[in-house]
Amino acid sequence: MQHGHEGLEGKDGLSLLGDVPLVAETPEECLDDETTPVGRFFVRNNGLLPEPATDAEGWTFTIDGEVERPLNLTVSELKSRFPHKTFRMVLECGGNGRSFFEPKAEGNPWTNGGVGCAEWTGVSLGDVLREAGLKNSALFTGHFGADPDKSGSFEQQAMSRGVPIAKALEEHTLLVWAMNGEPLPFIHGGPLRLIVPGWPGSLSQKWLKRIWIRDREHDGPGMTGLSYRLPVRPLAPGQDGKDVETRIIESMPVRSIVTAPADGSRHPVGTRTIDIRGAAWAGDDEVARVEVTLDGGATWTEAAMTPPRNRYDWTRWQASLPLPGDGPYEIFARATDTQGRAQPFRAANWNPNGYGCNVMHRVAVTVGQEA
Ligand SMILES: Nc1nc2c(c(=O)[nH]1)N[C@H]1C(S)=C(S)[C@@H](COP(=O)(O)O)O[C@H]1N2
Ligand SMILES: [Mo]
């Protein structure tokens, strides 16, 4: 519990990963809701928090650069001029799963809790870009927020990332003012943020002030060096990433989490069935199946899946497995995407900044033994 921590008011059960910048993840068993409540939604900042807005409706943001008609719009104008969209979509930090890499990679030691799935309401960025009129030279976006960097300076953005225009034009890429039907909370970027689903969370700029349409790949903080990039050719675990050829991370890899039972839980003597629940998602792709094992992968049982509500929603799943007797059990869940890519047993694709680790979630439980 982080009660009283500035910026984490109303958060319930998160684990603090860092104070400055403020970073907190959600233990897997706290992600058992179909829609992640705001109180359980992870928090990731790269700089300090901005001044909270006093007039949310009057918050302005700009679209400029390679457009015919630069726009300066208030939240209230966005609401009145463009069709509203609500989608339930996963937001996941690019470093989710990082702590499972061996040796340790640079960055916040996320387990599997740098993720949440909320209902986001706003307008499609594409509708607004069409109003601005994209020039033929429009290739990439650059996102700017109101937060100062770690040192409190506004000279440089804490983080400023961007996407190829095609991703910006997807219907599900939203300018968002509401989360789970309530005004977007300050800590999640209120009054206005971007949601770019399926790709690293760092693209979903909070406290959004400007989108710069560029004629080249954006080069703000978070776009260059090893930031949100992966080596083109595999590195040996621990290998120096200097001078290696890299590419920008686009879609996040397939992942599943077990949200019940909780890791470390105890179950009464004689329990002979265990109900396992969880969630799975696959970046831009879809989840084809989720399987669980209690015997280290010797046998797998396919879980029943609830179809996602819309593209980029997560898939909730459940399975009931017989238990042969009392004792300790290890549950592993493995999701596979529609291209046949499944989660590995051991962290694969080691990289210096630790992105995209989607090793299977392991949950240890005990049936019928004294503490
Ligand atoms: N303005 C701004 N937007 C930002 C960030 C930031 O530091 N500043 N962090 C990004 C990262 S790395 C992630 S994972 C998500 C986290 O969103 P959340 O804090 O609402 O969970 O916000 C993104 N948007
Ligand atoms: Mo992130």
> 95 CB under 6 A from ligand 1?
no
pLDDT score for 6: 77
State the chain's mean pLDDT as an integer. 96
| CB neighbourhood size of 32 (10 A) | 18
Q: Which atom of ligand 1 is nearest to the CA of 46?
A: 7
Q: Tell whether the model's pLDDT for residue 343 goes beyond 70.
A: yes
> 227 CB under 6 A from ligand 1?
no
Query: Measuring from atom 20 of ligand 1, which residue has the nearest CA?
Result: 188
**Of 46, 96, 223, best ligand 1 pocket probe by most atoms within 8 Å of the beta carbon:** 46
What CATH number matches the domain at 255-367, 2.60.40.650, 2.30.110.10, 3.30.200.20, 2.40.40.20? 2.60.40.650
Q: What mean pLDDT comes out for the span 173-177?
A: 99
> 147 CB under 6 A from ligand 1?
yes
Q: Which atom of ligand 1 is nearest to the CA of 146?
A: 1
Domain-by-domain residue ranges, the chain?
A: 15-248, 255-367
pLDDT score for 280: 99
> 43 CB under 6 A from ligand 1?
yes
Q: What is the CATH number of domain 15-248?
A: 3.90.420.10
Token readout for 123 is 């307008």
Asked whether 345 and 332 are in contact (CB, 8 A), the reply is: yes
Q: How far apart are CA 255 and CA 11, in angstroms?
A: 24
CA of 366 to the centre of ligand 2 (A): 34
> 184 CB under 6 A from ligand 1?
no
What DSSP string runs through 138-186? --EEEEEES---TTS-SSS-S-----BHHHHTSTT-EEEEEETTEEPPG
pLDDT score for 2: 40
Q: What mean pLDDT comes out for the span 30-53?
A: 97
Q: Tell whether the model's pLDDT for residue 351 goes beyond 70.
A: yes
Q: What mean pLDDT comes out for the span 62-88?
A: 98
pLDDT score for 7: 83
> 145 CB under 6 A from ligand 1?
yes
Q: Tell whether the model's pLDDT for residue 274 goes beyond 50.
A: yes
> 44 CB under 6 A from ligand 1?
yes
Q: What mean pLDDT comes out for the span 264-291?
A: 98
Q: How far apart are CA 187 and CA 80, in angstroms?
A: 25
pLDDT score for 306: 98
> 290 CB under 6 A from ligand 1?
no
Angle 223-156-160 from CA coordinates, rounded to 5°: 35
> 59 CB under 6 A from ligand 1?
no
| CB neighbourhood size of 371 (10 A) | 4
Q: What mean pLDDT comes out for the span 93-106?
A: 97
Q: Which atom of ligand 1 is nearest to the CA of 145?
A: 1
Q: Which atom of ligand 1 is nearest to the CA of 47?
A: 7
324 closest CA partner among 346, 344, 305, 298: 298
- In the chain, % helix, strand, coil (3-state, to 5) comes to 10, 35, 55
Q: Tell whether the model's pLDDT for residue 41 goes beyond 50.
A: yes
Q: What mean pLDDT comes out for the span 7-19?
A: 93
Q: What residues does the ion ligand 2 have nearby, CB within 5 Å? A: 44, 93, 201-202
Q: How far apart are CA 282 and CA 150, in angstroms?
A: 32
Q: Tell whether the model's pLDDT for residue 1 goes beyond 70.
A: no
Of the pLDDT bands very low, low, confident and very high (cuts 50, 70, 90), residue 370 is low
Q: Tell whether the model's pLDDT for residue 74 goes beyond 80.
A: yes
Query: At 32, which amino acid appears?
Result: D
pLDDT score for 371: 54
Q: What mean pLDDT comes out for the span 41-59?
A: 97
Helix locations, 83-238, DSSP H: 125-132, 165-168
> 353 CB under 6 A from ligand 1?
no
CA of 215 to the centre of ligand 2 (A): 25
Note the ligand closest to the C-alpha atom of 186. 1
> 202 CB under 6 A from ligand 1?
yes
Q: Which atom of ligand 1 is nearest to the CA of 43?
A: 19
Asked whether 230 and 94 are in contact (CB, 8 A), the reply is: no
The model's pTM is 0.97
Q: Tell whether the model's pLDDT for residue 313 goes beyond 80.
A: yes
